[in-house]
Amino acid sequence: MVMGDIVTGCDVLVVGGGPAGYTAAIRASQLEKDVMLADRFDLGGTCVYRGCIPSKTLIHTADFIYNIRNPGTGIKSSVEFDLKKIQQGKYEVIKKLRDGIYHLCKKYGVEVIKGAAFFESSEKARITSPDGIVSTLKFENAIIATGSRPQVFQGFPFDGRFVISSNEALGLVKVPENLVILGAGYISIELGTMYAKLGSHVKIIQRSSRILTKFDPEVVEVVSQKMKKLGIEFFLNSKPEGMRIENDRAIVTVSESGKKTELEADKILVAVGVKPNSDGIGLENTKVELDEKGFIKVDEKRRTSDPKIYAVGDVAGAPFLAHKAFREGKVAAEVIGGLPSAFDNRAVPEVVFSEPEIARVGMDEETARSSGYEVTIAKFPFRASGSALTLDRTDGFVKIIADKKNGEILGIHIVGADASYLIGEASLSIEMASLLEDLAVTIHPHPTLPETLAEAAEMALGKVIHI
């Protein structure tokens, strides 16, 4: 297709090349649609450049360094590291993934255009390439996957030097001596823990009385304890009042019920949520409707209020997770391709790469009860797991919430080593509408951590052996 100031056409225009967008583009192409994928930057989105991939690469490295420094009984060790080189290693990982996505798009016949898209109507978009060339594109359907960006916190404008978002925090080449973090969601907890392991003095300021408010309090308590052991300080029920720069250092004023404290910081990480990228793309020229926070309103098939336009990923609302975006992208493409798909998942798993890891899928106790379920709850501790003992990772537990009436598994909450892996099986259980019995009678290899899931299910059925 020729670029330039002429009108070209396609069946499906996908705007945004992150997990939601490139997945949607490839699936639509697999369904024999003529697909164009536009992104202002390289393909990959937040996940590849500013989210999942860089953070997990760095967290893994920090864990590795920390574990060498704390090797366990009978081992002596020491370690030195160069964060700059570690960052370079991280870019190699990113590049591999980015190239992989381009390769996949090529393989499946997706035409990729670099440029910012702007909707002129429900069937036409203008694409401006980085060097200013404008082309107009007519489409049968569009899928918006423009993602989200870090939310700004009043009084702490991002300056890239002192006040940074997760974007910059993932690219530091020097470990900050004093790191102050605003907010206590998963980004704050993951990056705070990572930098604490690399040697930062981390202080987390949180307005409410708990950290990770979306997660089960019992689960969070395990992580909280561990973070305190790593030297992380929590300022709960506290409000960041403002900041000033003194001698090339930032001073953050924080107040807790009137009592003011000043905290010194090399870097201030603002991690207070995300804002949808639904502005500046011409949605006012379409029938797409936004909710009061600016997220695009979608239905189960990820159709927007405009019959030609779909929206997927962060821009279509919470949870802001790549795996939710992957699924949504496929759903939208399949619906456009005439398949009976819908985002009808019973649960979206959520993971925090904290110390130890947290993972949850399905309902928590409160939601289950308020939804009218009479629940049965079991908690199987890692310290009763042979595998956890062999790994010397006995902190944590598996908590299972089920419907007392029929044993339907409503939610599984895990805190402990490798919770991020364990949640896979838990997710399948819920998606497959498993009952406690189904999980309990499934044979799990011994000695492994997944056994704890079956044990928890047996416990909920009232017939556990190992405790």
Partner 1 sequence: MDIKFPDVGEGITEGTIVKWLVKEGEDIKADQGVAEIETDKAIVEIPSSKAGKITRLNGKVGDVIKVGSILAALALPGEAAAPPVKPPEVRPEVKPEKPEVRVPEVEIPEVRAPEKATGRVLATPSTRRLARELGADITKVTGTGPGGRVMDEDVRKFMEAPAKPPEVKPPEAAVGEIKLPEERIQITGIRKTIGERMVQSFFTAPHVFSMDEADVTELVRLREKEKKIAEERGIKLTYLPFIVKAVIIGLKQHPYLNASMDSKKNEIILKHYYNIGIAVDTPEGLIVPVIKNADRKSILEIAGEMQKLSEEARSRKIKLPDLKGNTFTITNIGSIGGLFSTPIINLPDVAILGVHRIRDMPVVIEGEIKIRKILPLVLSFDHRVLDGAQAARFMNTLKDHLEDPDLLLLDVV
Helices (H), 4-51: 19-30, 45-50
Nearest distance from C-beta of residue 433 to partner 1, angstroms = 5
Binding stretches for partner 1 (CB under 8 A):
32, 299-301, 335, 338-342, 344-346, 371, 403, 406-408, 431-433, 435, 437
**Contact present, 216 and 360 (Cβ < 8 Å):** yes
What does the angle CA 112 – CA 116 – CA 118 come to, to the nearest 5 degrees? 115
Nearest distance from C-beta of residue 391 to partner 1, angstroms = 33
Nearest distance from C-beta of residue 275 to partner 1, angstroms = 27
The alpha carbon torsion through 360, 46, 158, 355 (nearest 10 deg) reads 30
Question: How many Cα atoms sit within 13 Å of 399 on the Cβ side?
Answer: 22
CA distance 138 to 127: 11
Residue 124 pairs in a beta bridge with 138
Closest alpha carbon to 39 in 27, 49, 31, 30? 49
Nearest distance from C-beta of residue 409 to partner 1, angstroms = 10
Nearest distance from C-beta of residue 140 to partner 1, angstroms = 10
Q: Which is nearer to partner 1, 305 or 345 (CB)?
A: 345
> SS3 of 136, please?
strand
Q: Which is nearer to partner 1, 63 or 431 (CB)?
A: 431
Contacts of 150 (CB under 8 A, 6+ apart): 158, 165, 166, 167, 270, 271, 273, 274, 275
Q: What DSSP state is assigned to residue 176?
A: -
Q: Which of 201, 444, 446, 466 is catalytic?
A: 446
Q: Which is nearer to partner 1, 1 or 433 (CB)?
A: 433
Q: Which is nearer to partner 1, 53 or 410 (CB)?
A: 410
**Contact present, 451 and 442 (Cβ < 8 Å):** no
Q: Which is nearer to partner 1, 168 or 437 (CB)?
A: 437
446 is catalytic: yes
Q: What is the set of active-site residues?
A: 446
